[in-house]
Structure 1
Amino acid sequence: MSVLVVSATKAEAAHVPSGLKVVITGIGKVAAASAVSRVLTADRTIQQVVNIGSCGALRDGHTGLIEVGTVLNHDFSAAAIRSLGYDVEDGLEVGDSEIVCATGDMFVTDTVVRAELAQRAHLVDMEAFAVAWAAREAGVPARIVKHVSDNADETAFDWANVVDRSARDLADWLAANV
């Protein structure tokens, strides 16, 4: 099966096993959706997208490697837009897991924001929803596999010092599952 591995940064993809197709999208939803769409349009042989990367835990007890079942676009005013009569999607199912990842362009470090997001999701990142959306639009299934690097609080600022652990664990998962 032809698989496209998607990562926001080179640091998160630093240990991806050789031989896999990889795209580094850049940080955020627009960069992720654009890059994935470009690759899927150019290479029609891709049969699955696997988004790997680090994430923040919104609830205590979530650590290590986690496969996501649902992604939410958390910083999109879906309710307001629906009230105007437009049907919009702000959640996509990507797997069987009960784990929900909230995606937004906000780098979450505030405990109040963390608590609010924790009411709807277990994890937070900045690309998963966009990757899943772009893959779905191209008719390609997506898997989202994240590694908890912080607690979506002030510990998030230590990302540069812990991202290599995430990259290694994600690479091990890829080697065993792709």
Structure 2
Amino acid sequence: MSANNVLVVSATKSEAAYVPQGYELLITGIGKVSAATAVASALARYERENLPLVVNIGTAGALHAHHGGLYVPGVVINHDISSTAIRALGHDVADRLVLAGGDDSVLATGDAFIADTATRDALAQRADLVDMEGFAIAFAAQAAGATCRLVKHVSDHADDSALDWPAMIDASARELGRWLLDNV
């Protein structure tokens, strides 16, 4: 696939600092609402038969001590929606998406910045990694009919080390840029 058929999506400019020349780049801002709105707006500019591959690059917190490096999650969950309660009220809710071409890791997405061990440990029962945009980007892409790939580099362990996130972004951005060169 050529860079012409790819929309690279990142929450921040810092995470996208090493995106190679030639790729269309969309900076969404942080959080699910900003991400979904930006991706939906961007994809609305395309004809349905010419939709690009949406590649979300970004940092993630590891929910288990043994996780590090780069992941292409095959499953993404919306961890901070009250799915059980909504279903009990008789409504369906999308809170889990399977992504073609992903690995066996599970990414949990929510609007909360996870920086404490109690929350991390609770999430670790359901997922391997945590971020703030992946589910929203995948959901918006899927709704438009586009294929989406999530590419996440571990920047911290979703504990007090997450407070050093700004200092860790550059190393993650380099790995994400390298992944784009090697895989897209």
TM score, norm. by length of structure 1: 0.98
| Unaligned ranges ≥5, structure 2 | none
When the two chains are superposed, the root-mean-square deviation of aligned CA atoms in Å is: 0.8
Task: State whether structure 2 residue 174 is matched by structure 1 residue 165.
Answer: no
Matched residue, 2:181: 175
| Unaligned ranges ≥5, structure 1 | none
Amino acid aligned to 2:22? G
Matched residue, 1:19: 22
Instruction: Map 1:21-170; keep pairs closer than 5 Å.
Output: 21-44=24-47, 45-95=50-100, 96-170=102-176
Counterpart secondary structure, 2:115 = coil
Mapped to 2, the partners of 1:24 and 1:46 lie a distance apart of 18
CA contact (8 A) 1:4 1:46 kept: no
CA contact (8 A) 2:76 2:107 kept: yes
Deviations 1:91-121 (A, max 9, x none): 0001342100000000000100000000000
CA contact (8 A) 1:132 1:142 kept: yes
Runs of 4+ in structure 1 off by over 4 angstroms are none
Mapped to 2, the partners of 1:98 and 1:156 lie a distance apart of 24
Matched residue, 1:4: 7
Q: How many residues align?
A: 178
Query: Deviation of residue 43 (structure 1)?
Result: 2.6
